[in-house]
Structure 1
């Protein structure tokens, strides 16, 4: 390639990135100005909106108590609440889920004598954490069946090498927020036990799974040896995570939390937001999941009516309140149409970014929460028609 050609490619890439950055700013402005959105996102929210989570915080915790110091006080209260909800002996608060899971699997590696962790190649630590398992924690990941679903019991039994821990992401976000059936999940756990492996749940969004499984949280968590949960994904908190499991494991994890730099001086704003999520948002999640199924069906019907029958909602009946939408267009085309719709009508149907899994394909995530409950199926179909009218 000539120098001029290389220069042209570089400029083209730069200009594409600049266009997407400008589009993101337009999307953020459209989100803030929209009279109606399908989902209110913390990613696009203002500082004022985020701080509003702490309104009436005195209902969540005694604000006249001393502030936390290195994990005391309100942090311990949150840990006890999480352990109670999940039915575990104990829980430890962590500033991030990445840290919580690295620590959990490092502890299990020491206890089992095997640093090998079997997990899906689409699991969060594989896709989004820059090889932290291997680079920081010395854990050796091996990948299970790459199909866009959780592994089966047969695949666990047939896996060709030993592993000390099986990690299951529930739901598997990058496959479309998918879950196995309750029967399939229990069989997978039994298969891992047959191989003398411990089972760890990446439950960042475990809070959303009770409708699909038809089981309470403590019964779901009881299948695993340890569970990680997030406070900002489903529960809309400022951040933070918890690792729950046996008391001895949690005590060991707290020692490693300190070594990893997670023994933060004071964390009460984040912890208060987590308590707000558990108190106010957690009870509403089952309603979000049920309404997500209404929204998904209306999206399919709306695109079919608009002459786009190839549009795909995955899963067809969402397993949680989040799912994916696939369209046969370049991602920049659909992203532009989504922003234009909001700018011109005040209705933002698709507020998240779009990815390009292949040429001429675009995929986005749909998240149904409180704002989405206001949308009827007719509202969704009408918004789809408006969106489709802006596609070439």
Structure 2
């Protein structure tokens, strides 16, 4: 019998261990943590100006090796803005990206409805696109968006040689290169390069602060000083230049200090967990060896029974494995997305494998 949402909320509230990302926090806990973190002399920003926000923008711009940066409420705002700027400067309306790009799946065609852009999809939704896919596009492009890593296919990354070949080709054809770096922070261990070296392949870069860095919300767009200056105007036009953004900026800054230095640990733990789970005959992991700290975990069995088993284990052991599963194209398999963070590090890998074995035993009983 499927567990009700009310029962799920009660069980989740009493959980003490989580294999996904960081420990959940209530708004009160988050705000209390910011009170302890913020300097007593700090002053609120005002319409994007002031030491607090400007110093953070400069810090991230330096980290990414770019001239300037602007803090915005969301990537959904800053990415279409910068793509519009790039296309207008080249006199071309077309942008190209992977079929599972965030702009395609989650933004209700904002690139077209707000900015008059046209999109071209590159390659298959089930794999990374390649240079050959890009070369086959007959239309002239104004901008190319590359997501690093590609979330919807398990956090996969192109090889460095392929990535440089793609961005070099784009530059040779006067196509702006933009990185959807919502999870760029997790790419460093795979490429074994500093963030500025990865970002150097792109004209502009967007990064997020509410994912692995654990911020409340917020993003930064980084690039040349003239592009960022124009982006600030569009931010104001779209209502994103809020009177004050300091709660988001402070939580982002805190997240950078707390988690950025642990990314390599999170990625190493992801490989350990993937290896341990792959031993179970009912589990498939994509990618087989995680390239970042995230993966897609495919479970074989009746979906509702697996979900119920996970909630039963959560109640018995106060350990949350997964809250739900989504159907897949593989017969008999459903999946969930697993991102390794601070909470994941506190559970022994062998314990995680044992708990998943229990899931299958309960689901099959």
* Structure 1 and Structure 2 fold alike (TM over 0.5): yes
Q: Which structure 1 residue ranges, 5 or more long, are not aligned?
A: 1-15
Matched, 1:390 2:345: no
In the TM superposition, residue 390 of structure 1 has moved relative to its aligned partner by 1.5
Alpha-carbon separation, structure 2, partners of 1:348 and 1:372: 10
With over 3 angstroms needed to count, the CA separation of the structure-2 counterparts of 1:240 and 1:153, relative to structure 1, is: same
Match of 1:36 in 2: 17
1:97-130 CA-to-partner distances (Å, cap 9, x unmatched) read 1001011111111111111000011111101111
Number of aligned positions between the proteins: 362
1:148-203 CA-to-partner distances (Å, cap 9, x unmatched) read 23221222122222111110011111111111111111111112223221110000
Match of 1:357 in 2: 328
8 Å contact from structure 2 (residues 187, 292) kept in 1: yes
Matched, 1:50 2:30: yes
Q: Give SS of 1:196's match.
A: coil
Match of 1:107 in 2: 85
8 Å contact from structure 2 (residues 310, 359) kept in 1: yes
Alpha-carbon separation, structure 2, partners of 1:135 and 1:357: 31
1:32-51 CA-to-partner distances (Å, cap 9, x unmatched) read 21232213557x54223333
Alpha-carbon separation, structure 2, partners of 1:383 and 1:51: 33
8 Å contact from structure 2 (residues 301, 332) kept in 1: yes
8 Å contact from structure 1 (residues 30, 348) kept in 2: no
Q: Give SS of 2:187's match.
A: helix
8 Å contact from structure 1 (residues 149, 179) kept in 2: no
Match of 1:128 in 2: 106
> Structure 1 stretches (4+) deviating beyond 4 angstroms?
none
In the TM superposition, residue 231 of structure 1 has moved relative to its aligned partner by 0.6
Q: Give SS of 1:266's match.
A: coil
8 Å contact from structure 2 (residues 21, 212) kept in 1: no
Q: Which structure 2 residue ranges, 5 or more long, are not aligned?
A: none
8 Å contact from structure 1 (residues 119, 143) kept in 2: yes
Alpha-carbon separation, structure 2, partners of 1:313 and 1:189: 29
With over 3 angstroms needed to count, the CA separation of the structure-2 counterparts of 1:52 and 1:146, relative to structure 1, is: farther
**Residue number among 340, 348, 351 corresponding to 1:379 in the alignment:** 351
In the TM superposition, residue 354 of structure 1 has moved relative to its aligned partner by 1.7
Alpha-carbon separation, structure 1, partners of 2:154 and 2:203: 25
8 Å contact from structure 2 (residues 68, 222) kept in 1: yes
TM-score of the aligned structures, taking structure 2 as reference length: 0.94
8 Å contact from structure 1 (residues 38, 349) kept in 2: yes
Aligned-residue CA RMSD in angstroms? Answer: 1.9
Matched, 1:342 2:314: yes
Match of 1:367 in 2: 339
Alpha-carbon separation, structure 2, partners of 1:83 and 1:251: 14
Matched, 1:63 2:44: no
Match of 2:72 in 1: 94
Higher relative contact order (CA 8 A, sep 6+): 2
In the TM superposition, residue 330 of structure 1 has moved relative to its aligned partner by 4.3
Match of 1:13 in 2: none
Matched, 1:265 2:243: yes
Matched, 1:326 2:298: yes
Match of 1:174 in 2: 152
**Residue number among 207, 222, 225 corresponding to 2:185 in the alignment:** 207
